[in-house]
Amino acid sequence: MRILLPLLVLATASLARPTTGSAQTSSDTLPIAERRRIVREIDAFTREHFAHWSALGTQSYDSMVAALRTQTEQRADRRDFDDAVLAFTAGLRNGHTRFTDAWRARTDGQTLWLWLWLWPTTEGWTVTGSEIPGLSRGAVITHIDESPIDSAYARARPRIIDSNERMRRYGWTLADYLWPRRFTVTLSDGRRVAVTRGEPSDSSVRAQRAGQPPVAHRWIVKDSIAYVRVPRFSPALYEDSAVTII
C-alpha cells in the first residue's frame, strides 16, 4: 500500500511499505495485525508530514483516527478496509493527499482510466468530455446502472479525495477507483450506453477527443529552451504530452 501526503505546497512525499506474508499480495482479506500496522503507520506519517492542519484542526484529526481504528478493527475484507482508509484520507480535505493499494489496482483494474468527464449543471450531470462511443459532449446522464446518478454520487462522495465540494464533484470522474470496470448509463433521452473502463493509446488524441486543450508549447531557443503550458495536473495525459514535447 502507498500513501501520498503533502510536505510543502508544491511537493509530495511517497511512503512505500514492504509487504509481509501472502495476505498482502494475493488475498482479499487482511489479518488484524496487518490492519493495525497500516493504520499506525498512516497516523504517524500524517502527523509528521501533513501540512494543511488549518483546514482541519488537530482535535478533529484525533477523532478521525479513532474512528478509523474502530472501523478497521471490524473490516478483514481488504476492499472494505481500503474504503475505510479512503474515507479517512478524503476527510483530510486536501486534494494532494492520496492513499492507494497496489493489490486492489491489480485485482479490480482500478487504474484503468474512465475517460468520461461529468459536471453537474441545471440540466443534470452533463458530459463535458468523453472517449466512449455514444456519449458525446452535452449528453445528460440520469442513472448509473439502475441507480439515480445523484444517489451514485452520494455513495461515492465520502471517498472522493479533494479539497472542497466543487472539486469533489469535478473529481468524481477522475477517481477511477470508485467506478466499476463495466456499467451502463441512462441518458435523459432514454438511451442506454454501456461503459467499459480502459486507456486509449495516444495521449494527445485522448485530450482532443475529450474536449480538453492539448498542451501548448513554443521554442524560445530551438531544441534548448521551451515554453510549455500545462493547463492542469490531471489526468496524467497532460504530463505525457509535455514529456513528449521536450
Contact 131, 115 (CB under 8 A): yes
Please, is 56 exposed, middle or buried when counting C-beta atoms within 10 Å of its C-beta (0-12, 13-18, 19+)? middle
For the chain, domains (ranges, CATH) are 2-108 (3.30.750), 116-196 (no CATH), 203-245 (no CATH)
pLDDT band at 234 (very low <50, low <70, confident <90, very high): low
Q: Residue 4: how many CB atoms within 10 A of its CB? A: 17
Cβ burial of 232 (10 Å; 0-12, 13-18, 19+) is exposed
Residue 13 pLDDT? 29
* pLDDT computed for residue 239 by the predictor: 67
* Phi and psi, residue 212, nearest 5°: -110, 140
Q: Which residue has the higher pLDDT, 53 or 233?
A: 53
Is 90 exceeded by the pLDDT of residue 89? Answer: yes
* Strand ranges (E), the chain: 2-8, 11-16, 98-100, 116-121, 124-130, 140-144, 147-148, 182-187, 192-196, 216-221, 225-229
CA distance 41 to 184: 39
Q: Using 50, 70 and 90 to split pLDDT, how confident is the model at 58?
A: low
Residue given cell 478483514 in the structure block: 76
- Phi first, then psi: give them for residue 92, nearest 5 degrees: -75, -15
- Among 6-10, 71-75, 116-120, name the one with the lowest average pLDDT: 6-10
For 61, residues 6+ apart whose C-beta sits below 8 A from its C-beta are 46, 53, 92
pLDDT higher than threshold 50 for residue 18: no
Q: pLDDT exceeding 90 applies to what percent of the chain? A: 39
CA 187 → CA 70, 115, 193, distances in Å?
40, 17, 8
CB 235 within 8 A of CB 113: yes
- Residue 173 to residue 131: CA distance in whole angstroms: 13
Strand residue runs (E) in 103-212: 116-121, 124-130, 140-144, 147-148, 182-187, 192-196
CA distances from 155 to 152, 158, 194 (A): 5, 7, 21
| pLDDT at position 8 over 50 | no
Which grid cell is 33?
495485525
